[in-house]
Amino acid sequence: MPEYNIIGKSVQRIDGPRKVSGEAQYAADLDIPGALCLKVLRSKVAHALLQGIDTREALKVPGVVGIFTHVDIPGINSYGIIVKDQPALTNRVRFKGDAIALVAAEDEASANKALRLIKVSLQDLSPIYDIREAMREDAPAIHETGNILSVYKVKKGDVESAFKQADVVIPGSYTTQRVEHCYIETEAGVAYMDNDMLVIKAGTQNPHYDRRDVARVLGLAMNKLRIIQTTTGGGFGGKLDISVQCFLGLAALKLGRPVKIAYDRQESFVATGKRHPFFIDYITAANREGKLLAVKVRIVGDTGAYASYGPATLLRAAVHATGPYEVPNVDIEAFCVYTNNPFSGAMRGFGTPQMAFACESQLDLVAQAVNISPLEIRRRNIFQKGSLTATQQKLDVSVGIGKTLEAAWEKALQVMPGLGDENK
């Protein structure tokens, strides 16, 4: 009997045939006769208190069936996978793009017309776009809990004495940018009542989380809410948050009619999470053989107006900050900070691509300083079986970094003829 029949075989994707034939139905492809079109009124200012909202003119537009604001939320008006700080429809604006009102209309043109006729009066608050300004003690608080949302620490050994004993101590300050997931399918969905069950179909990375937070916002029992993931055109972390789900549920529940929403590309950019911009101060200490002795790392991540996956991103960044290397002394602190920028959340790697940029740049600088090759410094410091990580976890099994390093180098020597000079 062969060891495995199916594991390790490149069987064809089970969803492949429907995708190549065009039959696969993504959320925007669902057609429910009579479904109302939903549109969201979004803030054009970054920080303000909502003083009043007048929907009377907008409601007179023929075809408009309903307009909802924060007062119409039947449950608790806040959601979030880690911190419940984001309102479905807000009465306090925290970024340019925050959702203020939801229009349901027979057709898109009427919905758009109504959006233009809603009158919002706002009391401006001073916005904070700069993360260092947001961290100052006297900075106005964007959320009641203050602007520093979380601080994570990873500490081991004695970094300061290691710095004194080290042959080289190299500081570097790194910044990384805000990035959009840019899945080719934008957010979309439909909702309808099936007897007393609210059904929401949408592209999502986490239907069971969606159920928890939509039930909370709508004040529904979890077993009266059914979330069905439609074929999803990419996520990369951007479809982990609630996007269209609460809007769909609210309108279908209140109006008792099927509803549909689809973000265009601009709304997808404006309304959904981004990769965190990081500000990283990284000091690396090593001896003259290039053996790492200590790292001291300070990380600040701009999570924007809402937490989303920010705390998880900064925690993961802190835990992974050393890279896959043995470092006996570490002092790492990571701060997740609110600003009035668009919110940042999960994106492929959760803070580790940012840290890899800093950590791997540092490693090359150390190699240069002690006059060994980039390959050699990595060989001398990578995790082995039995290594201890920065959090003192012992790596006992499946530690493949030695193999990936040697295999990648061997292949690179074959396919990159100019590389030979590197290994001197």
Partner 1 sequence: MAQFHLEMKVNGKPIALDIDPGLRLLDVLRDILHLTGTKEGCGEGECGACSVILDDELVDSCLILAPQAHGRGVITIEGLALNGELDPYQQAFLEVGAVQCGYCTPGMILAARVLLNHNPKPSKQDIAKAISGNLCRCTGYAKIVQGIEIAASLKETKAGVSRA
Partner 2 sequence: MKKRGYGIANMWYGIGNTANPNPSGAFVDFLDDGTAIVLTGCADIGQGSSTVLAQIAAETLGICVEDVVIVSADTEVTPDAGASSASRQTYVSGNAVRLAAENVRNQVIAIAAELLNIPTETVSLSQGEIWNSDKSSGMSIKEIINKCRSKGILTLGHGSYNPVTTELDPETGQGIPYATYAFATQVSEIEVDTETGIVEVKQIVAAHDVGTAINPQNVEGQIEGGCAMGIGYALLEEVILKDGEIQNPGMSTYLIPTALDVPEIHTIIIEESEISGPYGAKGVGEPALVPTAAAIANAVADALGIRMYELPLTPEKIIAAIKNRKEVEAI
Backbone φ and ψ of 61, nearest 5°: -65, 125
Report the C-alpha gap between 311 and 309 in whole angstroms. Answer: 6
Among 91, 112, 232, 287, binds partner 2 (CB under 8 A): 232
| Two structure tokens written together for 348 | 């492929």
Q: Please report, as residue ranges, which positions from 235 to 294 form the binding site for partner 1 (by CB under 8 A).
A: 236, 264-265
Instruction: Find the shortest distance in angstroms from Cβ 415 to partner 1.
Output: 15
| Residues 246 to 265 in contact with partner 2, rule: CB under 8 A | 265
Q: Does residue number 206 form part of the binding site for partner 2 (CB under 8 A)?
A: yes
Mask: binding to partner 2, 308-347, rule CB under 8 A, as x and -? Answer: ----x--xx-xxx--xxx------x------xxxx---x-
Rounded Cα distance between 203 and 340, Å, is 27
- DSSP alpha helices (H): ranges in 15-143? 16-20, 56-59, 108-117, 131-135
Q: Which amino acid is at 105?
A: A
Q: Which of 78, 91, 205, 231 binds partner 1 (CB under 8 A)?
A: 231
> Among 68, 79, 95, 183, which residue interacts with partner 1 (rule: CB under 8 A)?
183
Cα 228 → chain centroid? 22
Distance CA 414, CA 424 (A): 16
Q: Interface with partner 2 includes 10 (CB under 8 A)?
A: yes
Q: How many residues bind partner 1 (CB under 8 A)?
A: 30
**How far lies 382's CA from each of 8, 81, 169, 350, in Å?**
28, 34, 19, 22
Task: Give exposure, 51-74, as e/b (b: 16+ Cβ within 10 Å).
Answer: eebebeebeebebbbbbbbbebbe
Of 221, 266, 371, 424, the residue at the interface with partner 2 (CB under 8 A) is: 266
Please say which residue, 108 or 281, places its beta carbon nearer to partner 1.
Answer: 108
From 210, 199, 211, 203, select the one nearest 259 (Cα to Cα): 199
Considering only CA atoms, give the Rg of the chain.
26
400 binds partner 2 (CB under 8 A): yes
243 sits near partner 2 (criterion: CB under 8 A): no
Rounded CA separation 386/258 (Å): 58
Torsion of CA 391, 397, 398, 402, to 10 degrees: 80
Q: Nearer Cβ to partner 1, position 23 or 364?
A: 23
Which of 75, 233, 258, 324 is the binder for partner 1 (CB under 8 A)?
A: 233
Tell me: does residue 412 bind partner 2 (CB under 8 A): yes
| By CB under 8 A, residue 185 contacts partner 1 | yes
Contact stretch for partner 1 (CB under 8 A) within 8-16, 252-260, 336-344, 360-368: 8-16
* 15 secondary structure, DSSP code: T
Q: How far is the CB of 355 from partner 2 (least distance, A)?
A: 9
Number of residues in contact with partner 2, rule: CB under 8 A?
118
Q: Amino acid letter at 192? A: Y
Using CB under 8 A as the binding rule, whether residue 74 contacts partner 1 is answered as no
Residue 309 Cβ, how far from partner 1 at the closest point, in Å? 19
CB of 12 to partner 1, least distance (A): 5
Partner that binds at residue 155, options partner 2, partner 1, none, CB closer than 5 to 8 Å by kind = partner 2
Give residues in contact with partner 1 (CB under 8 A). 10, 12-13, 15-17, 19-26, 28-29, 31, 181-186, 231-234, 236, 264-265
